[in-house]
Amino acid sequence: MKLWGGRFSHETDKTANDFQASIGFDRRLYREDIEGSIAHATMLGRQGIIEPSEAEKIVEGLRGILADIEAGNLTFSSDNEDIHMNIETFLTQRIGTTGKRLHTARSRNDQVALDMRMYVRRESGTLIEYVDAAIRALLELAKEHTATVMPAYTHLQRAQPVTFAHYMLAWCQMLRRDHTRLSDCLARMDECPLGAGACASTTYPIDRRFVAAELGFSDVTANSIDAVSDRDYVVELCAALALIMTHLSRMCEELVLWSSWEYRFIEMDEAYSTGSSIMPQKKNPDMAELIRGKTGRVYGDLMGLLTMLKALPLAYNKDMQEDKEACFDAIDTVKDCLTVFTPMVGTMRVNVGRLRAAADEGFINATDAADYLTKKGVAFRDAYTAVGKLVAACVEMGVTLEELPIEKLREIHPAFEEDVYAAIGLDACVSGRKAEGGPAEVSVREQIEKLERFLA
Ligand code: ARG
């Protein structure tokens, strides 16, 4: 017999029942559901809406249920549709009719709104820790490689000289913003919806502020209709998660490229590589590829949520039950990816020689050669054209800019002098770029310090 049996004369069709049941996935909200119910029952007792002794009995019953679920001693049933009804049923089985008083002045609509907020709040905190761990791993690499020169690319063509540290710090910044995006979501979801009831609050003299404080919220939701209709915070979290995946996929794409024999900038540790079933020579960066690949499903979760909410009339509609699997999947996927990403980058070997060789070969000091002329009084556009001619000559001769003899340089522009070789040497090109945010060691040290302060 269903909880709403009074209104109904016969049972829900078995298939329809299974179709609409959410216990298969919302069971993971059991802790939040029980904590919310404990706060609610305590409030009901304090306000004299139920007897204080009844409230105590309910709280004790709920604590026992929590312990039993965690010990694996209770089995959920789809006859009870969702986590809320399962727990209420356990409670009544355990403490008798007093259990039936728990749902006074509450609806499953504000109950599920509360559970999801609490769940998303807890997971957001954990996700921030995962993101920070990834930042720390990249920061360690940065500290080791402040002098490891490599080319930065635009259009995937060698562009200008940087260091491996500078590159890793670029990745850190992407993840630092991800951390702050998660904190922003947390700040906005910090309102307790309990007390909104089904949609129009309640006539009982409830104390919403007490419940909110018990559950660690700093405020209560301002409008009962909105409180049970809002899933913005789930969308926001999933949008933040989608961006984390965007960032991870960009990093992983480069890690895959850099692991290739063509680049050989890095080598993944064997613990994070796989072999081929047929080609004995292969060592594949599967973990990085799979993280890149899983990005799509998190985008899908976000799209599913947005589409589910689109044009949905206020207040609660059963459509909203669909928020859960998408949200859970996005959270699980990002956690799984970060769990592998962090030790994968932490254990990879950086091929300093290959990075340096790539920096030596792509004329990435051409801008510096033009800047050299500009600093001697030549207009930048003229300097740019002169160096363009030099590069063309180098390509033809198969040499680098710094290998050209001074006579050849002066033939193309008379402002070149012997000091040009010092000015366009790779290390000088890097150490000269000491503007805030640049790759010079002084700027990189500043970036590292700032990030360390952020993490602390
Ligand atoms: N399982 C439901 C959900 O997740 C709980 C709320 C149900 N409320 C209702 N009136 N059907 O959305």
Give the torsion through C-alpha atoms of 332, 335, 339, 341, to 10 deg.
110
pLDDT given for residue 3 in this prediction: 67
CB 441 within 8 A of CB 431: yes
Residue 403's Cβ-count burial label (10 Å; 0-12, 13-18, 19+) is exposed
DSSP per-residue codes, 72-110: T-----GGG-SHHHHHHHHHHHHHGGGGGGTTTT--HHH
For residue 240, the 8-state DSSP code is: H
pLDDT given for residue 319 in this prediction: 96
pLDDT given for residue 245 in this prediction: 98
Best CA proximity match to 393, nearest among 348, 367, 363, 359? 363
Q: How many residues does the chain have?
A: 456
pLDDT given for residue 351 in this prediction: 97
221 lines ligand 1 (CB under 6 A): no
Q: Where are the beta strands (DSSP E) in 195-305?
A: 219-220, 266-267
The tokens of 184 are what?
Answer: 């922003």
Best CA proximity match to 196, nearest among 216, 219, 226? 226
CB 194 within 8 A of CB 211: yes
pLDDT given for residue 283 in this prediction: 83
The CATH class given to the 366-424 domain equals mainly alpha
246 Cα to the center of ligand 1, angstroms? 32
pLDDT given for residue 361 in this prediction: 87
| 157: enclosing H helix or E strand | strand 157-163
Residues in the chain, pLDDT under 70: 1, 3-4
196 Cα to the center of ligand 1, angstroms? 14
pLDDT digits (tens, 9 = 90+) for 311-354: 999 999 999 999 999 999 999 999 999 999 999 999 999 999 99
107 lines ligand 1 (CB under 6 A): no
Cα–chain center distance at 360: 36
Mutate to test the pocket of ligand 1, among 19, 88, 316, 317 (most ligand atoms within 8 A of CB): 316
CB 444 within 8 A of CB 165: yes
For residue 274, the 8-state DSSP code is: B
Phi, psi of 310 (to 5 degrees): -55, 125
CB 409 within 8 A of CB 419: no
Give the torsion through C-alpha atoms of 115, 117, 121, 123, to 10 deg.
60
> How many C-beta atoms surround the C-beta of residue 235 within 10 A?
19
The tokens of 186 are what?
Answer: 């947390």
86 lines ligand 1 (CB under 6 A): no
Instruction: Fold for 109-357, please state it.
Output: Fumarase C; Chain A, domain 2 (1.20.200)
176 lines ligand 1 (CB under 6 A): no
pLDDT given for residue 364 in this prediction: 87
- Output the pTM of the full model: 0.93
- Identical fold between 109-357 and 366-424: no
**Furthest C-alpha separation in the chain:** 102
Domain boundaries in the chain? Answer: 12-104, 109-357, 366-424
113 Cα to the center of ligand 1, angstroms? 9
Best CA proximity match to 109, nearest among 74, 79, 82? 82
> What does R_g of the chain's alpha carbons equal in angstroms?
31
CB 230 within 8 A of CB 219: no
The tokens of 75 are what?
Answer: 């089995």
109 Cα to the center of ligand 1, angstroms? 6
80 lines ligand 1 (CB under 6 A): no
Alpha-helix runs per DSSP H in 2-49: 14-20, 23-26, 30-46
* CATH superfamily, domain at 12-104: Fumarase/aspartase (N-terminal domain) (1.10.275.10)
Atom of ligand 1 nearest to the CA of 116: 4
The tokens of 433 are what?
Answer: 């770029």
58 lines ligand 1 (CB under 6 A): no
